[in-house]
Structure 1
Amino acid sequence: MAKVNRLKVSFHDDPRVLAEQSAEDYSRHVVPLAARSSRWSLAMASWSVLSALFYLYISVAVAQAVGTRSAMIGIGLSIVFYGVINYIISQRSIRNGLSVALLSRSIFGGAGAIISSLLFAVTAIYYAVFEGSIIAVAFQQYFAPGSDIRWWYLLVVLYAMPLVMGGVQVWMDKLNGALLPLYVGGLLLIIVIAGTRFGFSFDFLSIQPSLDTTMPGWLWAFIVYMGICVNMMVTAEFSRFGKPEDAKFHGVITFGPVFYFALYAVNGLAGIFIMDTVFPGLKASEQGIAEAVLKSSGLVGLLFILISQTRINTANYYMASLNMAGFAARGLGLRWPRGVWVLFVGACVYLLMLTNVFSYLLKALAWQGVAVTSWVAILLTHYALYPDPKSDEFRPGRVKAIMPGAWAILLSTAVGISLIELGEKGAWYVEIAPIIIAILAASSYWAINKFSEGRPLMRLAEPREEVQDVWRQHIECHVCERSYSAIEMDRDPSASQQAICTGCAEGNQSFLQSVKMESHQLSVQSRVQSSVEDSI
């Protein structure tokens, strides 16, 4: 074994890292304490999700299917369900500072984390297509109904990309903070205008069910909302920027029950009222919601759509570019700036918009919803099995290529897609598919953990044990010559055991091969020693 060299330790954050990562948002690194956001800055960035017209649409669709009463009961249960789970996720993410991709590595392994990054990136791209198309259609209908929609698609993409170039802490939080009052005020104004023009009524609270289900309507509604698990990945991605002292605030307000009350209950009731008032009896669609807003309030409605969709698409483009950058670095060895991936995401969004997007998008999102539901169930099971955040081993040289979570998510996703595609429409097992998927993912992850070897790789030296405070002390990486928090540093067997950061270790074949050899040698030595001790 090579001699272990002395670490280059400092007690202050590297100013070059802070400057470089202000735009990169630590996509391949742990977020250090010095880079954490203030509570309201993070809240404003995260609450961009609040303004998606999708949440107005889904409430209308559910109310029309099972009736308003059952829909509101289901929404109430969803607020509790999401509030509790996202509280748990946010507390853990604030403590470990890990992105979705880094967190996935400890559960799914090095190869599995690559799949997680791609899954989240593609899901965010599809949502960007969905929401961006609404803005383009609204612009076309208001300004030039006979014009070529492709030019409106291009305009929507071109103005969205610059808004996320700087990341969460540069001005994405400020943009969404400034637009939030306009969104809330605009929603209230549209409700007033719609009621004034078409008549105020409480009929929207007594919509009758139109769907014959095999279960109570409120349970059907709850299961529908349960399928929107992508918000839990959003929580993990954003909450890593929270300060430890703000953990409870973020758990309750930014990511917890207060947020979901606004997202599901307030938006839900508003959507049901607007749609039922302007187009009573018309079947719900997200385009229909946009048309109802335009018909009820004209220019005010157009500005509301622009503001609401701009806010949500900052989140979509941000998450897509962040995870695409992570996927490219881990899977393809491409360490390009996140700004390049913003442009790439924009190009993908535009090309998808040129297709008949609404003909296949819902099916694509349904498939991805299966995978995301599995991901969340496995994540929560992991937290239950390993309550100490120190067990979240994410360093490339410390985890195997395939960890137990990879097998669990492949199994549950395959079963889930089979249920959706091959199951009889309306059958009970199809209607409760999200519950089946979640139970299967959690139980298979638990079982595989019980009966397989999922522990970190054996290594010669551990930098974390060579410092007193893994968060406040920083170690210089011999590759990039930047100093990062000791929590993410490792030793490089291919370079005389010098220190290496997580970002430089990813996709570094020389490093990974040396780690594999070192781990194998240590494992052999350990087995030999155990055999000798047993024979004595």
Structure 2
Amino acid sequence: MAARQRIIPVRREYNRWVANQTLEDYALRFTAKSARRFSSSRISQTAIGAISFLALEAIGGTITLSYGTTNAIFAIVAAAIAMLAIGWPISRYAIRHGVDIDLLTRGASFGYIGSTITSLIYASFTFMLFAIEASIMTGALDLAFGIPPWIGYIISAVVVIPLVIYGVQLISRFQLITQPFWIILNILPFVFIAFMDWQKFDLWRAFAGIDHSNAQVGGPAPFNLVEFGAASAVILALMPQIGEQVDFLRFLPPEGLRKWRHRFAVFLAGPGWVVVGVPKLLAGSFLAVLTLSTAVPIREAADPAHMYFAAFGYMIPNDTAALLLMAAFVVVSQLKINVMNAYAGSLAWSNFFSRLTHSHPGRVVWLVFNVVIALLLMELGIYRLLEATLGIFSIVAMAWLCTISADLMINKPLGLSPEGIEFKRAHLYDINPVGLGSMFGSAAIALAAHFGLFGPLMASLATYVTLIAFLISPALAFATKGKFYLARKPRQSWKTLGSITCSICEHPFEHEDMAWCPAYAAPICSLCCSLDSRCHDMCKPHARLNTQVGAVARSFLPESVITRLTTRLGRYATTAVFRSR
């Protein structure tokens, strides 16, 4: 029997951005228990600060102008219930295991390489939402100060970078400082409107959409199921927001605190963000109708800058003062959300490229990369395509997050998948067909519905069709007997150790972040394991991508076709496929 090949370790020297966890914030690894020292109130305040985004008002206004108040309200409530139910298990497992949304996805039925697809989905959400939010801020700067949009885009993007470089510590401090100003100005204008012009609420309730004849004033606008579905699709595109909440919740201590205040804070900071989000969506719905009644053009009535200029006009009779207050409010609100978008995007891109390139220049590099992409989208005018963009994106995002939630909510309690969340490359199959099959299956059915295969009614309700993932995921887990979740198990004896030194970077880490590497015959941390390109996954030859592809291809393709296929994949792919025989 041939002796197992071993590789001589070469110490990995990370640059100062990667080595400094104040900058890096455990971007690619388990959040150490020693770093999870924030109080539930501070983290919840930080996470709730993410709900400041005025895209909620913009979306509420957009769907109201298009589909009417009644359809908008029903869509907001239905979408909120769906987001709350889907996000609840995701938040609980993230806190319990100290992982961000990407690491959670790896262990929740997607596998090590399979989750690169979801990292790209999540990264797309962060820079798309960043671009939308910065476009709103740019509109406020243009309206208040006459700053040209192309300059406003640059200002709105670049100003975020210094706030995000130092990670959760600086972000949480910024959120706490700006919170009182944001809360007061969110509530106060509606108090003035209620006392001074209550009739506008009656006008809002009766509004049936710009393409419809309004219902009788004083009565509600009619309900239409097709328009309800179309409005829901736009709102459900916000489902990945739970990922940004999780990126901060992982810094909470493990579930040892059983006090109700802690649980309530965690709820609000996690899936309960919709409890704060729903009033903001309704506020945008109302303000769009209010703004439209002031003779503002339809294309600008759903713009938060014009919305809050009209709202602050009830508080301050002076137009200049109202304009300046609006600008201050919009700038603060958009900075509060875009620090979260930029931070989450830096984590998503770090995870995505580390698996494809086996390199990691640091979270700060991907922070700048994310902001640059968002800036390009702003210059191309993404805000003008808000409804169309979010409608398609919601199907893909919902398919991904429904699959994760189904695994955590159904598969794990039923024993169809292993307990806990395993995220290390050394312990995972590259591809887990449960997650990918469920996500692609539910997305394919929903997209078919969206493009009219099942009629106009199902086309409008296509986003809700992705809930079929709650059936597909357990069915696939049962069919595969859960064997594609773990390639091998961690060493149980390490659980008693406080920390273990990585043989490659020579830094100590907690045992959850470590694996035994047969290639180096020594312990290795999760990040060094992810970045290693010399071992060729010696620890899990049966779980490598090429081996898995070969096993599937061998079941329905002739040997001659497999030979040609593996030859094109390269010498390593050929060896991996035929070694599994």
Alignment partner of 1:330 is 2:355: yes
CA contact (8 A) 2:32 2:98 kept: yes
CA contact (8 A) 1:67 1:209 kept: yes
1:262 aligns with 276
1:275 aligns with 288
Query: Aligned-pair distance for 1:288?
Result: 2.5
Instruction: Report the CA distance shift for 1:176/1:19 in structure 2 as closer, same or farther (over 3 A).
Output: farther
2:467 aligns with 438
1:467 aligns with 494
1:386 aligns with 412
Alignment partner of 1:233 is 2:262: no
Alignment partner of 1:55 is 2:80: no
| CA distance, structure 1, for counterparts of residue 447 and residue 119 of structure 2 | 20
Q: Structure 1 counterpart of 2:426, which letter?
A: G
CA contact (8 A) 2:133 2:338 kept: yes
Q: 2:503 is matched with which residue: 469, 478, 488?
A: 478
Instruction: Report the CA distance shift for 1:197/1:131 in structure 2 as closer, same or farther (over 3 A).
Output: farther
Alignment partner of 1:134 is 2:126: no
CA contact (8 A) 2:70 2:223 kept: no
Q: 1:298 is matched with which residue: 323, 329, 348?
A: 323
Q: 2:529 is matched with which residue: 488, 501, 505?
A: 505
Correspondence list, 1:3-82, <5 A: 20-36=20-36, 37-65=38-66, 67-69=68-70, 71-82=72-83
| CA distance, structure 2, for counterparts of residue 499 and residue 17 of structure 1 | 23
Q: 2:309 is paired with a residue of what secondary structure?
A: helix
| CA distance, structure 1, for counterparts of residue 389 and residue 70 of structure 2 | 30
Query: Aligned-pair distance for 1:251?
Result: 3.8
Query: Aligned-pair distance for 1:100?
Result: 1.5
| CA distance, structure 2, for counterparts of residue 413 and residue 73 of structure 1 | 24
| CA distance, structure 1, for counterparts of residue 264 and residue 452 of structure 2 | 43
Instruction: Report the CA distance shift for 1:224/1:121 in structure 2 as closer, same or farther (over 3 A).
Output: closer
| CA distance, structure 1, for counterparts of residue 128 and residue 90 of structure 2 | 24
1:407 aligns with 437
2:186 aligns with 187
Range 87-96 or range 383-392, more displaced: 383-392
Correspondence list, 1:87-166, <5 A: 87-106=88-107, 107-144=109-146, 148-166=148-166
Query: Aligned-pair distance for 1:200?
Result: 6.1
CA contact (8 A) 1:39 1:250 kept: yes
Q: 2:114 is paired with a residue of what secondary structure?
A: helix
Query: Aligned-pair distance for 1:311?
Result: 0.7
Query: Aligned-pair distance for 1:268?
Result: 3.0
Output one character per residue of 1:362-419: Cα deviation in whole Å (capped at 9) or x when no partner: 4443333222101111111111111388442211011111102122222333333343
Give the TM-score of the pair, scaled to structure 2.
Answer: 0.77
Instruction: State the superposition RMSD in angstroms.
Output: 3.2
2:319 aligns with none
Give the TM-score of the pair, scaled to structure 1.
Answer: 0.83
| CA distance, structure 2, for counterparts of residue 458 and residue 428 of structure 1 | 44
| CA distance, structure 2, for counterparts of residue 288 and residue 332 of structure 1 | 41
Unaligned runs of 5+ in 1: 5-15, 524-536
CA contact (8 A) 2:102 2:351 kept: yes
Instruction: Report the CA distance shift for 1:19/1:190 in structure 2 as closer, same or farther (over 3 A).
Output: farther
| CA distance, structure 1, for counterparts of residue 374 and residue 307 of structure 2 | 25
Unaligned runs of 5+ in 2: 7-15, 213-221, 314-321, 548-581
1:416 aligns with 446
Q: Structure 1 counterpart of 2:174, which letter?
A: L
CA contact (8 A) 2:131 2:377 kept: yes
CA contact (8 A) 1:70 1:218 kept: yes
Instruction: Report the CA distance shift for 1:276/1:213 in structure 2 as closer, same or farther (over 3 A).
Output: closer
Q: Structure 1 counterpart of 2:95, which letter?
A: I
Instruction: Report the CA distance shift for 1:329/1:285 in structure 2 as closer, same or farther (over 3 A).
Output: farther
Q: Structure 2 counterpart of 1:307, which letter?
A: V
Range 503-512 or range 306-315, more displaced: 503-512
| CA distance, structure 1, for counterparts of residue 120 and residue 163 of structure 2 | 22
